[in-house]
């Protein structure tokens, strides 16, 4: 990614302008993804096959049971205050991405999904708080290191009020706009 291809219209904060500019000017190697998480530039290598298998399973199970007004995207850049996240999956309402820049404010996003890799603590803490601060209704975390699936819901004041954990293999209830149980038996 280069600064020339970036089209973020969100106003920048004075403290952190240099870091944000450096981040936006990164020329990330092909297949890698770069995120700005709590003032730290995090560059992640391509995921392993088990990670991608879990992503495929979530997509298949959720989209099979969703109505036509919910869509899914992988690797959509989300602008969350001064941070920049790229969730493994972003579920969104019809039309939410139309006309949006590379780094968009998450209006119309109903759920983000992360599958843990090498920096699981970032997914468990920093990203949870970032997604909640942006008022994304649901954050689904497939925690491969802990063999559990975690759903955070009801964002308030920078965190989620409700957390539901199930061991991999147990069904996980997904609230509206989904309204069904997610099978988790093939997520590790």
Tokens linked to 18: 């240099």
Asked whether 110 and 138 are in contact (CB, 8 A), the reply is yes
Q: What is the 3-state secondary structure (H, E, C) of 122-142?
A: HHHHHHHHHHHHCCCCEEEEE
Domain that holds residue 177: 47-182
Residue 166, in any domain of the structure? yes
- Chain segment 17-29, per-residue pLDDT in tens: 788 888 888 888 8
CATH number of the domain encompassing residue 129: 3.90.1570.10
Tokens linked to 111: 């759920």
* Integer Cα distance of 94 and 60 in angstroms: 18
* Integer Cα distance of 63 and 59 in angstroms: 6
What is the reported pTM?
0.86
Asked whether 123 and 141 are in contact (CB, 8 A), the reply is yes
pLDDT > 90: what percent of the chain?
63
Q: What pLDDT was estimated at residue 7? A: 36
Residue 177, in any domain of the structure? yes
Contact residues for 142 (Cβ-Cβ < 8 A; gap 6+): 54, 58, 113, 114, 115, 116, 149, 168, 184, 187
Domain total for the chain? Answer: 1
Residue with tokens 């038996």: 185
109 alpha-carbon distance from chain centroid:
10
Residue 130, in any domain of the structure? yes
Residue 168, in any domain of the structure? yes
Residue 84 has pLDDT above 90, yes or no: yes
Average pLDDT, the chain: 88
- Chain segment 52-82, per-residue pLDDT in tens: 999 999 999 999 998 788 999 988 999 998 8
Residue 30, in any domain of the structure? no
Asked whether 41 and 60 are in contact (CB, 8 A), the reply is no
């Amino acid at each position: 990614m280069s600064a020339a291809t970036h089209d973020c219209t969100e106003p920048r904060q004075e403290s952190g302008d240099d870091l944000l500019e450096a981040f936006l000017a990164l020329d990330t190697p092909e297949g890698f993804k770069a995120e700005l998480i709590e003032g730290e530039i995090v560059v992640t290598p391509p995921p392993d096959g088990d990670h991608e298998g879990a992503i495929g399973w979530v997509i298949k199970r959720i989209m099979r049971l969703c109505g036509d007004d919910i869509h899914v995207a992988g690797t959509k850049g989300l602008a969350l205050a001064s941070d920049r996240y790229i969730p493994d999956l972003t579920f969104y309402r019809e039309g939410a991405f139309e006309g949006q820049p590379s780094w968009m404010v998450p209006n119309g996003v109903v759920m983000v999904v992360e599958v843990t890799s090498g920096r699981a603590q970032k997914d468990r803490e920093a990203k949870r708080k970032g997604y909640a601060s942006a008022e994304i209704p649901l954050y689904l975390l497939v925690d491969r290191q802990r063999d559990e699936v975690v759903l955070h819901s009801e964002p308030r004041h920078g965190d989620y009020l409700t957390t539901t954990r199930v061991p991999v293999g147990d069904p996980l209830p997904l609230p509206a706009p989904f309204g069904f149980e997610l099978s988790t038996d093939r997520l590790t």
